[in-house]
Amino acid sequence: MRILFFFLFLVIPTTFFSQVKNSKNFDFSSKYNSSDSIKKGSVKTATIDMYRFITIDNDTTYIDTSLTIQKEYSHNYLRKDIFGLLPFANDGQTYNTLQYSLTDFSPYPEFGFKAKHFNFLEANQIRYSSVATPVTELYFKTTVRKGQSVDAFITLNTSENLNFSIAYKGLRSEGEYLNQLSSTGNFRFTTNYNTKNKRYFAKAHYTFQDILNEENGGITTIENFESEDPNYNNRQRFEVYFNDAKSFLKGKRIFLDHNFRINSDKGANNLYLTHQFNYENKFFEYKQATVPSTVGGTVVDRFGESFKSSGINDQTRYNKMYNRVGLVYENTTLGKFQFFADDFRSNYYYDQILIFDNQKVIPSAFSQEINSVGGQYEYRKNKWNGTFLYSRSVTAQSLSNLDAKLDYALNDNTQFSFKYQNINKLPNSNYNLYQSSYVQYNWSNDFKNEKINSISANAITPWFDAEVQFSVLNDHLYFNNVSTLAQTSAKTQIVAPSQYDGTINYLSVKVSRELTFGNFALDNTILYQKVDQQDAVLNVPEIVTRNTFYYSNYLFKRALFLQTGIVLNYFSKYYANDYNPVIGEFFVQNEKQIGNHPNFDFFINAKIQRTRIYFKAEHFNSSLTGNNFYSSPNNPSRDFTIRFGLIWNFFN
C-alpha cells in the first residue's frame, strides 16, 4: 500500500503538470511540424518511432493508441489476448489452460505453484522504454461485484541515453461466490541506459508482486447449480468447501542485463563482454482457519487427515540467484557468435524436518547449484533472422537445452517462422519437496528429468495466420488425484505429484482469418488439438474457437471511432484439470467433463483522441443456455456481468 501511495504521488503531478498538450509544437503525422527547421526553420518534434518499448531480447515495438479488435481481446486483467486460457469466475483468480502449446519450458528448475503465476511477471516479460517525451498510461476496469482493476505506468528519458519507468497494477475483486475475494499488486521499476559512444548498454528492473486469493474449494453441490433452481440465482447461497481459506504468493526480483564493447570503435568486427544477473525470492502460503468442511449436514475432511484441528498455515520459501557471463564476437557479414557460462543457485525450504511413524523423513530444504556452458549463433541479414542456442550442464545435474529459431520476411505482409526445441528439464522444486499440515500432502521425491522435443511453424499472410506445433513429451511430470474410492465417496481429495513413464505426442493447429465487408468484419480463430497417449495424462479440448462479428466506423466528423460487436467463445468437452489450493497447482482428473457451452459477449468500444473506452456485457447468454458452464469441475465460470473500462494515454 505504501508503494501504491508513493506511485500515485509521482504519477498525478506528472500527469497534470508535465504533459500539457501543445498542438503547436507536436505533430505526429510528420517528422517536423509546420514551423520546423526544414519547413520554417524552427523546432524539431517527436515522431511515433521515438516512443519505443524494448524486451530483454531487444525486440522493439512502438506506442500504439489505436482501437482494434486485438485491443478488445487484450483489455483484461492480464493485459494480453487470453485465447487458449479459461478464466475462473472472479478476476484475479487462476486460469485453466485450454491450449497446451502456450506452456513455456526452461531447463532450470522453477519454484512451482504454477496456478498462482498467471499474473506474476517473470524477468523476460518486463519491457523497457525509450521515449522522446514523458509518457503515462492509465488502465481501469470494473471487476466482479465490489472492487476495481487499475494499471498505471509512467516513463521518461532524463536524456537520450537514460530512461526510467515506474508502474503499478492493482486489483481487488469480491467475486460472486462465498470466500472468493482477489487482491493483487504488481510493482515494476525499470531503467534503460547506454553511453553516448554506444559501447555500454544496460537494462535493469526491480519488481515486487503479491497475489492474494480467498479459496473456497468450489461449490459442494453441483446438482444445485445445474438444476437452475432460482433460489440459487444469488450465488452467495451456494455452499462451498471453505469459508476462511486463502492462498498468498509474493516475490521480489532484482535484475540486470548489460554488455560492453571491448573495441573502442564499432566496425566490421566487434567483441563484447556480456553479463546477466537475476536474484529473486518467493513465498507461498496456504492458510485455513477451520479445517473440517460441511457438505449438507455432513462433516468432510476435504484434504484428508490433518496434524492440526484448526489454524493451518503452510509456508514455502524460495530464493534463487542466476549469473551468466558471455563473450560475443560480431561480424557484420557472418553474424554473432556467443560463448557463455551460467551459474544457477536456488534454495527451497521450510522451518522443520518431518519424521513419520514409518520412518519416512521429509527434509526441511532442497538446494541446487548448477553450472552450464553453451554457445549461441545469431544471424540477421536482409529477410532472414536466425538464432541457434545450445547449453549443457557441467555439474552433477543433467540439464541441456537446444533452441533453434528461424524467421523469414517475404515482405511487410508475409512472414514465416520456424522453431525447434529439445530440452532436458529438471523438475520444479515443489515436485521434489512439499510440507503441509495435511498428512498426505507431504512428500520428498527424486524424479527424473522431463524430456521435451517440440517443433513449430508460424505463418502470417494477407489471407490467414497459422500456427502448427508438434511436441513429444517423455517422463512428463504432473499432479494427479490419488484418492482411493472410499476417499472419493467421502468427498476427500488427495493430490500428489506423478511422473508418466510413457510417451505423449501432442499436435496443435491454430488458424486465424478476418473477413471484412465494408464497415463490418468477422474475425475467426480456431484451434485443433490432438494427443496420442496410453493413459489420460495430458487432457485438452479437441476444438477451441473464437468468432467475433463487429462493426467499426468514425462518427461525429471523425471525432469518435466506434467499435461494437458480439464475441463467441467455445471449446469442446474434455476432462479438464481441477484446481487444488493447498499446492497452488492444477491436477489431472477423469471424473467430470466440462465444455460444449457457447459463451457470448457483447461489446461497445470507442476512441476519442488518445482515450479508449470499453463497455462489455460478458456471457449474456448464461441464463438462456443452461447452467453447464465451468472453469474446472467444481468451479462454475463467470455469469452474466457488465464491465466498463478505459485506457488513457498522455504524451506530447
For 367-390, give the DSSP string: EEEEEEEEEEEEEEETTEEEEEEE
Q: Tell me what pLDDT residue 42 has.
A: 52
Which residues, in sequence order, are CB contacts of 387 under 8 Å at separation 6+? 376, 377, 378, 379, 403, 404, 405
**Is the pLDDT reported for residue 23 higher than 80?**
no
Burial of residue 119 (number of CB atoms within 10 Å: 0-12, 13-18, 19+): buried
Number of C-beta neighbours around residue 99 at 10 A:
20
* Per-residue pLDDT at 37: 30
Give percent of the chain with pLDDT exceeding 70. Answer: 93
Contacts of 609 (CB under 8 A, 6+ apart): none
Which residue in 73, 88, 140 sits closest to 118, CA to CA? 88
Mean pLDDT on 409-429: 94
Q: What is the pLDDT of residue 30?
A: 35
pLDDT at 626: 86
Q: Are 494 and 589 in contact (CB under 8 A)?
A: no
The pLDDT > 90 percentage for the chain reads 84
- Rounded mean pLDDT of 473-485? 95
Q: Which residue has the higher pLDDT, 358 or 171?
A: 171
Query: Are 341 and 300 within 8 A, CB to CB?
Result: no
Q: Give the DSSP H or E segment for 225.
A: helix 222-226
Looking at the DSSP assignment, which residues form a beta bridge with residue 379?
386
pLDDT value at 359 more than 60: yes
The DSSP call for residue 32 is B
In 132-142, which positions are buried (b, 16+ CB within 10 angstroms) versus exposed (e)? bbbbbbbbebb
Q: Is the pLDDT of residue 1 over 50?
A: no
Better pLDDT: 11 or 256: 256
What residues contact 12, with CB distance under 8 A and at least 6 apart? none
**CA distance linking residue 39 with residue 90, whole number of Å:** 56
- Confidence check: pLDDT of 287 > 50: yes
Can you give the pLDDT at residue 553? 96
What whole-number distance in Å separates Cα of residue 186 and Cα of residue 82?
Answer: 19
Cα–Cα distance, 494 to 537 (Å, whole number): 17
d(CA 236, CA 84): 29
Is the CA virtual torsion 576, 579, 585, 591 positive or negative?
negative
Per-residue pLDDT of 505-543, as tens digits, reads: 999 999 999 999 999 999 999 999 999 999 999 999 999
Helix (H, G, I), strand (E, B) or coil at 621: coil
Output the pLDDT for position 296: 85
DSSP letter string over 523-538? EEEEEEEEEE-SSS-S
pLDDT bin (cut points 50, 70, 90) of residue 43 is: low
| Segment 217-270, tens digit of pLDDT | 999 989 999 988 888 989 999 999 999 999 999 999 999 999 999 999 999 999
Instruction: Report which residue type is found at 281.
Output: N
Cell 551459474 maps to which residue?
A: 343
What is the pLDDT at residue 5? 42
- Looking at this protein, which amino acid is placed at residue 210? D
Q: How confident is the model at residue 652 (pLDDT cuts 50, 70, 90)?
A: confident
User: Measured in Å, how far apart are the chain's first and last C-alpha atoms?
Assistant: 30
Cell numbers at residue 165, please? 519507468
DSSP-assigned letter for residue 478: E
Indicate the SS3 state at residue 199.
Answer: coil
pLDDT at 35: 30
Q: How many residues does the chain have?
A: 652
The three cell numbers locating residue 456: 513449430
SS3 of 126, please?
A: coil
Confidence of residue 32 (pLDDT cuts 50, 70, 90): very low
Mean pLDDT of the chain: 91
So what's the pLDDT on residue 47? Answer: 86
Residue 651 — pLDDT band, cuts 50, 70, 90? confident
Q: What is the phi/psi pair of residue 160, to 5°?
A: -65, -20
Residue range 434-449: mean pLDDT, rounded? 95
